[in-house]
């Protein structure tokens, strides 16, 4: 079955466990909390994925990142930029 799940995020690194191959749909603030909404297949095995949240002007590490979205938080006082740390197949070459 496919459904949508939401995950809370905080500034910095966020390691989340979710069904394999879940698709990022949106990031938004809800009731003062930053959330990531994912389209998931509930029967899929789970995997760990890393999402990183940076404020504007914050240092971003030299890692392969994919931009998920940008969100105005706390009435626009804080702007959060959400990225996923890209995953690579590290099983033998």
Phi, psi of 76 (to 5 degrees): 90, 0
pLDDT digits (tens, 9 = 90+) for 42-80: 999 999 999 999 999 999 999 899 999 999 998 888 999
Residue keyed to tokens 């002007």: 57
Secondary element (H or E) of residue 49: strand 46-55
* pTM: predicted TM-score of the whole model, two decimal places: 0.88
């Amino acid at each position: 079955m496919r459904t949508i799940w939401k995950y809370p995020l905080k500034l910095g690194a966020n390691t989340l466990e979710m069904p394999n191959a879940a698709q990022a749909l949106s990031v938004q603030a809800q009731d003062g909390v930053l959330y990531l909404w994912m389209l998931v297949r509930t029967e899929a095995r789970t995997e760990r994925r890393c999402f990183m949240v940076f404020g504007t002007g914050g240092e971003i590490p030299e890692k392969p990142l994919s931009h998920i979205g940008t969100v105005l938080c706390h009435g626009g006082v804080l702007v959060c930029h959400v990225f996923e740390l890209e995953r690579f197949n590290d099983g033998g070459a």
